[in-house]
Structure 1
Amino acid sequence: MKRESMEFDVVIVGAGPAGLAAACGLMQRAQQAGLELNVCVVEKGAEVGAHLLSGALLDTQALNELFPDWRERGAPITTAVTQEHFYMLSSPQGGLELPAWMTPASLHNTGSYIVSLGKLCRWLAKQAEGLGVAVFPGFAASEALFDDAGAVCGVLTGDMGVGANGIPKAGHVLGMELRARYTLFAEGSRGHIGKTLIDRFALDRGRDPQHYAIGFKELWRLAPERHHPGLVVHGGGWPLGRNGGGFFLYHGDDGLAAVGMIVDLNYDNPHLDPFKECQRLKHHPLLARHLWGGKRQAWGARALTKGGLNSLPQMILPGALLLGCDAGTLNGARIKGIHTAMKSGLLAAEALLPALVAGRGGDKLTEFTQLMEESWLQTELQRARHFVPALHKFGPWAGGALNWLSQTLLRGRLPFAPHDSIPDHATLKPAAACPSIAYPKADGVLAFDRMSSVHLASTGHDEDQPCHLHLADRALPLRDNLPRFDEPAQRYCPAGVYEVVQQAGKPVFRINAANCVHCKTCDIKDPAQNITWVPPEGGSGPNYSGM
């Protein structure tokens, strides 16, 4: 059976802030130039926003450029930051608040807004459709297409209706070829196609290895007397100690607050369980006093790309661009990536238009590189380039002090340049050489178990479809990872996808793929790089639309 094919001027993979900003910006420029373009956005989530997860604090700089009248257009941005506090916790009960002058300047949030990224991107999708963009949710781009010269010329969407045994079921539909003069990849952190393109074109040659974190977010409806719209709380220290990461609590609108934790994936103790670290954090009095009497509404987990400029790959390749977190444009010093992702999309639109007017396609958009170098995005990433490696090398206290000096006094300049050259998957020590960690049992009031959390993520997969978590060597988890690292996938996966169970007195490695919330942590942290995440059938996965 022959696959159907559709032709576009531009295909954009991912309906997140980078992809939608690129779509809107390109169509605005095309209309101003009197050029008709055929542009589509494909999104693997069942709806726009279903797979988007962020705290989130929004710097509106890029949005102001794209839609200066966003307020009049009804953007879901209403709660400005009105007060903020930064804490370093020292124990399950103790800690101290850092005065504003001791907090790195990059962590101040004056002028930012507390938002839902899912709501923001659904609004952006409506703006894109109003400009003539075709937005297709529920279609997962499975791989890139290449022309005879080796340039990217579009994407192939995944087949629908294939059984777990690989045999087509009733109602089977072949994926479509979406061909384009240029393709933009804005898949978010650890994009599965972006990962293969970086390898294929050696886009990361000469860069530090990319670094990641796993972020958790819970949405709570607070007791009315505990809700303070515009309040922002950030912090670090306990329970992570020297492990990189921190926590947040954002009081948004409608009685809701977002609480969560970010855990850097360069940790070395295989007994560490990022999900359980986040759960026990909420018992600290600093956070508990906000949450008592409230009710958890939603939960989610997602990887963040946070290596910064030192790890940023080349973003141009023949026929395509990598945008936003697919490349790694998040500003780790500000813990913000929405505005930088959007700016990368706007720069892509600016580079694309003259190429399309000139009838080009399949070449490298070298204009993008120059535009990037001249932009405030490059300036911002340049200033932040030392932040994450300083924390990785020197820990939260010494690294934090160094970052205060760099960000507050030296505007991102240091007399030396810290780097982190060890990839996150290579940092684990043998389990026998590390202390075990005793986590308290979930009380169902402030702390919860994995399965009740996965339930709140509304994740859904057809049980009868091929497993989307591929093992290069199926024997490796029990042969190598279990004796050396006590198989860390049992703990780094937040959704209970990976288990070691006993059957007939022997250990068996089980993959519960239906639990997967598409966080990509397994693809990043597996010490043998034996696990590859690929997209399941389009529309599968979590539904974070309210997050």
Structure 2
Amino acid sequence: MAEIEREAMEYDVVIVGAGPAGLSAAIRLKQLDADLEVVVLEKGSEVGAHILSGAVLDPSGLNALIPDWKEKGAPVNVPVSEDNFYMLGEAGQIRVPNFPMPPLMNNHGNYIVSMGNVCRWMAEQAEELGVEIFPGMSCSEIVYGDDGEVKGVVAGEFGKEADGSQGPNYEPGMELHGKYVFLSEGVRGSLSKEVIDRFDLSAGKEPQKFGLGMKEIWEIDPDKHREGTVTHTMGWPLGSNAGGGSFIYHIDNNQVYVGFVVHLNYRNPYLYPYMEFQRFKHHPMVAELLEGGKRIAYGARAITEGGYQSMPKMVAPGVALLGCSVGMVNVPRIKGNHNAMLSGKAAAEAAHAALQAGRRSDELSDYEAEVREGAIGKDLKKVRNVKPMWSKWGLLPSLAVGGFDMWTNTLGFSVFGTMKHGKNDAEATEEADKHAPIHYPKPDGKLSFDRLTNVSFSMTNHEENQPCHLTLKDPSVPIDVNLPKYAEPAQRYCPAAVYEVVEKDAGPEFVINFQNCVHCKTCDIKDPSQNINWVTPQGGDGPNYPNM
């Protein structure tokens, strides 16, 4: 097949992903030098379409980037007024008092927000400064230079047929070249994964760890609504089956964000994270809040949880990884957006200094140093042992010991040093014959819903004639290996009903309904054989989240 010829456009900095990290980098670059040529490429149909977060926002990143954000009308309007934490049992709950918790756990001064709307507003600020932003532009390939450096990306390739051939309306896309390329794709981005592997950026680091976060937006009875209230729970229904917990955030307009996180290092392949979320809503405390209300949106995405010891090297020749492409979530605080913004700001400042010095396509080592030694590193280092403690010792012991460790870290030391994570989440999955199947109640259609019904509330759409973006390294593995060995957990860990095992006359068949995919990347992370590779679909496809 003839090599595809593409036009090329030259920029100072090419940014992949219009999330909080990428947009912060773009804004800061133009603040520093209005003449810099900066482009942001976003795979969603619009900025914010693929953004899903809790979210209680620590405004420190926004304060550093745009100090007058209030005057400029940022959609950051609901301050946290009340902070609750509960341990749940099946029929009741125990309120955990706030006073024993380390100060870093306090949500005073934080805001409940839609990060999708925050990113839409940030894009407006960037465009006012002269940043070019192109939504609906998936970046499908890295472009490498003659010396192996990252030179740019391919964006906007459309019109491939299902078999990968060029259809009648094929468009080859363009190469966008930058003196520096920033990858801010979010969790487990396909280009970031390639760069981490090619340059061996995870060498000497602990494996990255992940959770699956699922979220619904509910409109509830105004008499039950308490704007500004933040509630977190742990315990039931997960119990000892998996780590995780829930959040319930009362935003404005009589709406609440109801979310559930399952740590993906669970052992039992019969665990069904989505159904754990649906069962959670039947807890008396939650059911009472939601009864009489209606679910108006749904979505899911993976969350980086490895923290300080799992962050790969962030730079290679010509490229820098930002935000969740590195993994900057503070797990006990369930917050990473502030660190994503700070990482974008730091990368922009390092690139600006390099360009001023006449450099290009080298390693932005100043960016890496700022992340590890500055505000982000200090934020993550204090809580670095919480996740490995939880993984090793379970919920209650890790709460007590982890709380003690966080307290001592506020004084600058830890008696535990830096603990290791050990296995990655795929390796944590045990064989099915070591576990009993878990029986979940059928969704009632009022508080709990089947996956396909909920996916329709994510406004997800993919052009059916394009190549499947969920690629199998070996198509025989799901039926020949994963089904007998692990009861094919893809049927359950996917929160969007993408994967099925269908019985046919010739035997079981593995079916991929890629049209349902909400781009959470859980399959790429949790598949025990590491046989599924998530790559970007055609630009503009995927979920269209309104206010996530």
Residue number in structure 2 paired with 1:78 = 77
Aligned to 2:14: 11
SS in 1 for 2:130: coil
3-state SS, counterpart of residue 296 of structure 1: strand
Equivalences for residues 370-519 of structure 1 within 5 A: 370-411=369-410, 413-416=413-416, 417-504=418-505, 506-519=507-520
CA distance in structure 1 between the aligned counterparts of 2:112 and 2:128, rounded to whole angstroms = 26
**2:293 equivalent to 1:294:** yes
Q: CA contact under 8 A between 1:329 and 1:340: conserved in structure 2?
A: yes
Q: CA deviation at 1:374?
A: 3.9
Question: What SS does structure 1 have at the residue aligned with 2:99?
Answer: helix
Aligned partner of residue 496 in structure 1, secondary structure: coil
**Distance apart, 1:377 and its partner CA:** 1.2
What amino acid maps onto 1:424 in structure 2?
D
1:165 to partner: Cα distance = 2.2
The aligned counterpart of 1:186 is 184
What amino acid does structure 2 have at the position aligned with 1:275? Y
In structure 2, the gaps of 5 or more residues are none
> Residue 53 of structure 1 contacts residue 118 of structure 1 at CA under 8 Å; is this kept in 2?
yes
Q: Distance in 1 between matches of 2:496 and 2:372?
A: 40
Q: Give the distance between the partners of 2:280 and 2:188, measured in 1 at CA.
A: 27
Counterpart for residue 208 of structure 1: 206
Matching residue of 1:220:
218
1:457-510 C-alpha deviation (Å, 9 max, x unpaired): 110001111011110110111101000111000000111111001111511111
Match of 1:30 in 2: 33
Structure 2 residue 523 is matched with structure 1 residue 522: yes
Q: Work out the number of aligned pairs and report it.
A: 542
Matched, 1:58 2:57: yes
**What's the counterpart of residue 317 of structure 2?**
318
Alpha-carbon separation, structure 2, partners of 1:302 and 1:224: 29
In 2: Cα distance, 1:202 partner to 1:410 partner: 30
Residues in 1 aligned to 2:70 and 2:356: alpha-carbon distance in whole angstroms: 32
* One-letter amino acid matched to 1:143: E
The residue that corresponds to 1:46 in the other structure is 45
What do the CA deviations read for 1:309-354 (whole angstroms, capped 9, x no partner)? 1100011111110000001111112110100000000101111111
Q: Aligned runs of 1:8-407 on 2, under 5 Å? A: 8-31=11-34, 36-90=35-89, 92-242=90-240, 243-407=242-406
Percent identity of equivalent pairs: 49
Native 8 Å contact 1:234 1:246 kept in 2: yes
Q: What's the secondary structure of 1:359's corresponding residue? A: coil
Amino acid at match of 1:365: L
> Which runs of no fewer than 5 residues in structure 1 stay unpaired?
none
Alpha-carbon distance in structure 1 between the residues aligned to 2:165 and 2:369? 48
Superposed displacement of residue 10, structure 1: 0.3
Question: Are the structure 2 counterparts of residues 52 and 278 from structure 1 closer, same or farther at C-alpha, using a change threshold of 3 Å?
Answer: same
1:345-382 alpha-carbon deviations (Å, 9 max, x no partner): 01011111111112211111112133224421111111
CA distance in 2, matches of 1:410, 1:61: 20
1:351–1:371: 8 Å Cα contact kept in structure 2? no
* SS of aligned partner of 1:391: helix
Mapped partners of 2:373, 2:270: distance in 1 = 45
Could you tell me how far 1:418 is from its partner in structure 2?
Answer: 2.4
How far off is 1:102 after superposition? 3.4
CA–CA separation in structure 1 for the residues paired with 2:516 and 2:202 = 32
Which has the larger displacement, 499-508 or 268-277? 499-508
Q: Distance in 2 between matches of 1:392 and 1:105?
A: 23
CA distance in 1, matches of 2:62, 2:445: 39
- TM-score under structure 1 normalisation? 0.97
Q: What is the letter of the counterpart of residue 436 of structure 1? A: P
Q: Would the aligned equivalents of 2:155 and 2:173 in 1 still touch at CA under 8 Å?
A: yes
Is the 1:105–1:407 contact (alpha carbons within 8 Å) kept by the matching residues of 2?
no
1:380-410 CA deviation, whole Å, 9 max, x = no partner?
A: 1111111111111111110111111122344
Q: Which moved more, 1:359-368 or 1:52-61?
A: 359-368
TM-score (norm 2): 0.97
* Structure 2 SS opposite 1:170: strand
Aligned counterparts of 1:436 and 1:485: Cα–Cα separation in 2: 11
